[in-house]
A and B are shown apart, each in its own frame.
Chain A
Amino acid sequence: MLINGVQIDDTFAEAFNMRGTRVIITAQNLKWAYHAANAMTGFATSVIGCGVEAGIERELSTAETPDGRPGLSILMFAMGSKVLMQQLETRMGQCILTCPTAAAFAGIESEDRINLGKNLRFFGDGYQTSKLFSNANGMAKRYWRIPVMDGEFLCEETTGMVRAIGGGNFLILATSQPAALAAAEAAIEAMKLIPNVIMPFPGGVVRSGSKVGSKYKTMFASTNDAFCPTLKGVTNTELSPEIESVMEIVIDGLNFEDIAESMRVGIQAICDLGAASGVKRISAGNYGGKLGPHHFKLHEIMGKKAS
């Protein structure tokens, strides 16, 4: 498949089942909401080393937040509910509780609930106060008010936890490193507009895509040598001679459709730059379809846009 001179490989991205949650962070202004959210989603690029994958989903207006202050929604994903709960509580305690003026609320409703402020309340040393408020639908939610040095830390007791998908991805193959990065940036800008997904790596982009296994016994993942341009002559390369740089965008999301849509708009944004930008191919990472139950086939996703 060729779109605007960019080749779309006939392959697929292989993704896995995860557990996900959404948290709404508010603060006195957006600046401090970002401080809190950036801290909470820091060191959360990959479950391999971080436990969770997390990112800022979008900004929220004052009309969209529970307490009427500026805010951000955060998505957080882990391989299991236990890890997700542990990571959420730890990050809430160290990143949100500590951040001036920040408050945290549930961003998703489900039968499965995980603790947001339920245990953080004990930081209040007996001075914490709970409040049960009903919304217009009569649904009651419990909030904790924990006295802190800047006033009160307000936090909802729990948030929802849902089944999610992690590991949607595509690879950008370009003739130079600047060209690959510029294409990745264009893709990320377009993908940020899609709800229910995050791109958890720095700036949304990964340069160190990995393969399963290693020559070293202690390593269970190592560099994806087939896509490393400096190894073209010594490995079973996937790259043609003119490719000098490959960058990957990984997507975690709450459902298959939104991940597929984010991939579509991201790839389309790259294709809109044209082959003259230096981008030659779009590919995807998979494990032969044996590990992940969710397959994002590039030709199906981009089918309507094929030239």
Chain B
Amino acid sequence: MNALTFNLKKPLQFSLNCQLLNPTHLADKSPSDIASMLLNYGNSQCRVDEIFEISGNDAQNICFKNSSDKLDYLGANMASGNMLIEGNAGAYLAYNLKIGEIHCLGNTLAYAACNMVSGLLTINGNTGDFLGGASAGLRKGMRGGTVIIKGNAGDRVGDQMRRGLILIEGNAGDYCASRMIAGTIGVLGSVGEYACFNMKRGSLLLTKMPKLHATIQDCGSHTLPFLNLMFKSFAQFKTKFSSIQTLRVQRFVGDAACAGNGEILLILPAQ
């Protein structure tokens, strides 16, 4: 069986809602059923075969070729299978992802991993704002799973994140870990201003000292054995985080403005 492949025929003018094109939803669909499905395109609808050339028959392995940032909600509500995106993706990639793996080889727009529940999302390029955040109106963002960003991330990474793991090999923007409730975010590059703004709990693992606002408190340098477990758990994802060898960190706690007990762990050289 070959992966069910959707090859974008031509550049899109408007955003296309692709939430129906996931392994869970297409599991029992025939090729003709898939071709005739209607997707929301701008303020109208169009058939899948008007937008994509369709090939392959393995709905548990879906591939998007020639994809662009007009493709929103790729992998949304997915509860099984794998998805490979050979190109860019639009907003809300892996929205409410429950089970499965999504790998985007390009860049994405905002709200990747929004409301994500479980599974694995890997983005080789850059991603926009609100990575792992909550959709409008919700009080909890990402609730589980793992997100790996090989490039950079925008502002508000992990906004209201409740659980799970986000590993960013590049930089992150302002307000990283804002309003974070729990979980772990790691950034190997730099982070912008107001990291951990209104953070309640959770951990932000950094390698470079950020510019901190007044309500993040320095708790000194420590050797923490739990980091060994954490780094071991990172090893399965084959990221640059695997190269961290030290258990020595400087610990900052906050945000005191909301009586928060979250932490920034700044990696220090081994003693």
A interface vs B, CB < 8 Å?
26, 66-69, 103, 126-127, 129-136, 143, 145, 151-152, 154
Contacts and interface: CB of A to CB of B under 8 A. Distances in A.
A148 B225 CA distance: 13
Given A129-B261, A131-B203, A143 B226 contact: yes
A131 B184 contact: yes
B225 A133 contact: no
A134 B232 CA distance: 9
A133 B263 contact: no
Contact of A127 (B203, B232, B261): B261
Interface of B: 146, 163, 182, 184, 201, 203, 222-226, 228-230, 232-233, 235-236, 261, 263
A103 B225 CA distance: 9
Contact of A154 (B226, B236, B263): B226
A133 B229 contact: yes
Give 10 nearest A-B pairs by CB, closest first: A133-B233, A67-B228, A68-B228, A67-B225, A136-B236, A154-B226, A154-B225, A133-B229, A145-B226, A134-B233
B249 to A, nearest CB: 11
Contacts of B232: 66, 68, 133, 135
Nearest to A103: B225
Contacts of B261: 126-127, 129
A261 to B, nearest CB: 33
A68 B182 CA distance: 25
Contacts of A69: 225, 228
B236 A152 contact: no
Contacts of A133: 229-230, 232-233
A123 to B, nearest CB: 15
**Chain B CB within 10 Å — which of A26, A131, A136 has the most?**
A131
B222 A151 contact: yes
Contacts of B263: 129
A151 B146 CA distance: 28
A152 B233 contact: no
B33 to A, nearest CB: 32
Nearest to B163: A132
Nearest to A124: B261
Contacts of A131: 184, 203, 226, 229-230
Nearest to A65: B228
Contacts of A154: 225-226, 229
Contact of B233 (A26, A129, A135): A135
Contacts of B203: 129, 131
22 contacts: A26-B225, A66-B228, A66-B229, A66-B232, A67-B225, A67-B226, A67-B228, A67-B229, A129-B201, A131-B229, A133-B229, A133-B232, A134-B236, A135-B232, A135-B233, A136-B235, A143-B229, A152-B222, A152-B224, A152-B225, A152-B226, A154-B229
Nearest to A135: B233
A144 to B, nearest CB: 9
Nearest to A126: B261
